[in-house]
Amino acid sequence: MVSRMDGRLKVTGQARYGLDRTMPGMVYGYVVLSTIAHGEIAAMDVTAAKSARGVLGVYSPFDPLELSTPASPMMGETWVPLQNREVAYYGQPIGFVVAETFEQARDAAALIEVTYHQRPALTSLRDGLATAEDAPPAFNGSPQTLTVLASGVESIEDALAASPVVVEATYATASQHHAAMEPHSAVAVWDDEGLTVYSGNQASDLQAAELAGALGEDLSSVRAVNPFVGGAFGGKGRTSAPAFLAAAAARALGRPVKAALTREQVFTATAGRAETMQKISLGAERDGTLVAVRHDSWCTTAADRSFVEPTSFGTSREWYATPNLAISQKMVPLHIPQTTFMRAPGEAPGSFALESAMDELAVALGMDPIELRLRNNSTAPPGKDLQWSSKHLDECFRIGAAQFGWADRSPRGRTDGDWLVGMGTATAMFPALRFPATVEVTLRADDSAVVATSGADPGTGLLTVLSLIGAESLDIAPDRVTPRLGDSAFPAGGMSGGSTATASAGTAIMIAATKVIDDLQTLASSPGAPFEGREVTYADGRVHAGGRAMTFGELLREMDHSSISARGSSAPGEEMTKHSFSSFGAQFCEVRVHRWTREARVSRMLGVFDAGRVINEKTARSQLAGGMIWGVSAALHEGLELEANGRFANADFANYLIPVNADIPEIDVHFVQYPDTLHNAVGAKGLGEIGVVGMAAAIANALYNATGIRVRHIPIRIEDLL
Ligand code: MOS
């Protein structure tokens, strides 16, 4: 268990983020945003802005930068700004001012006069329900609407009608924003070799590719660098508006350009999490065995329909064993900022609905909510033949119940002075995934090693984990391994997203390490080498033969090599045809609601997770505790408030509520560790996102236990508990 290697740099302010770069001749850009939600820009008067002091360039759809929308946008989304005069949401980037100083750029931006042909804007999920559209297949190609019926059953309605106990309710979750500490920003500089962009993101190679596409440049002349990233959570998976604009303006002006969104701009000029409405029907036998699960979802999406929050698909499709299952997913296009992946996309809001409904079913049955969940534990996703490669959800609940004191829970809560105290639980699941990744492992003559891949460490601890897997694979101490991440010049390392990075890059490290050790052994026994013609083995960082050993550094020095490198690649493969893969968890919380003020406090939390092998317990625990705090935030704090004109009323940290330390109690995180080598050689199943899953429902369920009030929307506010 080790501390994150970049921790000290970060907490002492020595870590240099993208925006911390300065360079000679650098100038500053300021992004201009729309002030209507729907319409066309009729004119932009930039005369005053252009003649303002220090201004070097004013760009708009009338006087655009050379940027284009790629023909095949990544995952159906493109965020390239200033492409036309259409305004599809309030706060859309519509201009870019570059000046000698930040203040000059900002002041000049305020001088731009925009005239719009305004059109009526549709901004509310409820108003848009009538025009809801079927969601396209999910990002992995699976249909988001599907029905699985037991033989002889005609319809999900019939299955529900035949169920002795039925629970049916509609749940709602608010629109949210990643609100990472580091605002989206970039420093872009061109030289003889091309463009370098310093900007926080989740995959430097993908960012370089996206920039090259938008700029019409060859990929080999675009480099994206992001040694440190101040939080991402899905919101930095794509290249941001300031990165596109800074890169194009730097090319036009021949000067390095720095651009950053203000905190308020981040809420609209980058994408957030959709608002959802979800209707769930659960049919069960009197002993709790599920007969039918129906989950119909609606989510908001931007006018370009670029992203669907897959709540039904991400949750009910796989969670519980049921002979009859029907899920549907609809999207409601609105004049709102773009939506995208945000920590546990699908599962986070989806689990609020499903796990609240499971609690309601437990109440209806008079059954313990854990017993109900275990009764319906699945060995494979419903309707699929492929069994879970490993699943220890029952053990998570068993350990969690014992550690949390679940046996002391009364179905009607308890009181402690003026406080009503309740306990709640929920299941957590998140698919175990992998992306293609390539890693280069280098052994150096000074007996150190380097593990390099493009990727990114957006605060997850990936850098530390890569050094640990590198050390293990090379059989040397971790402090001899330098991990290199966050530069598109390194081999393409996949994305820090989808809870995949450890499994993806880790497997590639193991393959690269095996190769470089092979090459080292070949070198050691080659003609003229110290072990010429002998059978050479490798262990403990040394080559061995005939009772003699040399460290790899000694061998390389002896042979006048400064280093030896090999690359390894891994990608999902045959295993996908053999098993289903997921991480699992059991969430527990205790809440206290004040009898008179109705203030709700979370007083204890515990998460027990089956995420396969955990490489580094300390950073893993931070990931999961962070996710569980997001769950508190979703349940009790977070929600964007949209005014009728499409403007967010609370797009800043004073009004967009997120928990502070005083809101968060002691958090316990426990792992059951069963390495899942059916999924990948490292045995890790992924734990970046599962921490948030289920926690909002666990809190709502605990509030019900404490007060008898069932709240079916989040965030839950004081007025909901009156
Ligand atoms: Mo995550 S929402 O895949 O960054």
Question: CA 17, CA 644: separation in Å to the nearest integer?
Answer: 37
Q: What is the DSSP string of 442-504?
A: EEETTS-EEEE-S---SSSSHHHHHHHHHHHHHTS-GGGEEEE-SBTTSPP---S-TT-HHHH
- Is any atom of ligand 1 closer than 6 Å to the C-beta of 517? no
- Per-residue confidence (pLDDT) for residue 92, from 0 to 100: 97
**Catalytic, out of 440, 575, 689, 719:** 689
Note the pLDDT of residue 77: 63
Residue type, 173: T
Can 689 be counted among the known catalytic residues? yes
Amino acid at 30: Y
CA of 344 to the centre of ligand 1 (A): 6
pLDDT at 156: 98
Q: What is the C-alpha separation between 345 and 693, in angstroms, rounded?
A: 10
Instruction: Determine the Cα–Cα distance for residues 607 and 329; give it in Å rounded to an integer.
Output: 29
Task: Give burial (CB, 10 Å; 0-12/13-18/19+) of 264.
Answer: middle
Kind of pairing between the strands at 437-444 and 222-225: unpaired
Instruction: State residue 72's pLDDT score.
Output: 64
The angle subtended at Cα 642 by Cα 637 and Cα 643, nearest 5°, is 135
In the reported structure, the alpha carbon of residue 236 is separated from the centroid of ligand 1 by a whole-number distance in angstroms of 9
Q: Which domains does the chain have, with CATH numbers?
A: 7-120+178-269 (3.90.1170.50), 123-176+272-379 (3.30.365.10), 386-433+574-722 (3.30.365.10), 437-571 (3.30.365.10)
DSSP 572: -
Residue 73's pLDDT is what?
A: 62
Q: What is the pLDDT of residue 75?
A: 62
| Pairing state between β 600-610 and 582-594 | antiparallel
CA-wise closest residue to 454 among 495, 411, 406, 413? 495
What does the block give as tokens for 220?
């080999």
d(CA 5, CA 7): 6
Please list the alpha-helical segments (H only) found in 110-185. Answer: 125-128, 156-161
Closest CA to 276 of 360, 328, 346, 178: 346
Name the helix (H) or strand (E) containing 633: helix 617-636
Query: What is the predicted pLDDT for the residue at 76?
Result: 58
Instruction: State how far the Cα of 665 lies from the Cα of 185, in Å rounded to an integer.
Output: 33
Of all protein residues, whose CA lies closest to atom 4 belonging to ligand 1? 234
CA–CA separation, 409 vs 540, rounded Å?
A: 52
pLDDT of residue 69: 86
Could you report how far apart the first and last alpha carbons of the chain are, in Å? Answer: 46
Segment-wise mean pLDDT, segments of 10 residues, the chain, 722 residues: 93 95 97 98 98 98 91 68 94 98 98 98 95 90 92 97 98 97 97 97 94 95 96 94 98 98 97 98 98 98 94 93 97 96 97 98 98 97 92 98 98 97 98 96 98 96 97 97 97 94 97 98 96 96 95 97 98 95 98 97 98 97 97 98 94 96 96 97 97 98 98 98 96
Say if ligand 1 is within 6 A of residue 690 CB: no
Are the C-beta atoms of 343 and 160 separated by less than 8 Å? no
Any ligand 1 atom below 6 A from CB of 343: yes
- Name which of 54, 56, 44, 53 is nearest 112 in CA terms: 44
Give the pLDDT score at 70.
Answer: 77
Instruction: Please calculate the CA angle 580-312-151 and round it to the nearest 5 degrees.
Output: 70
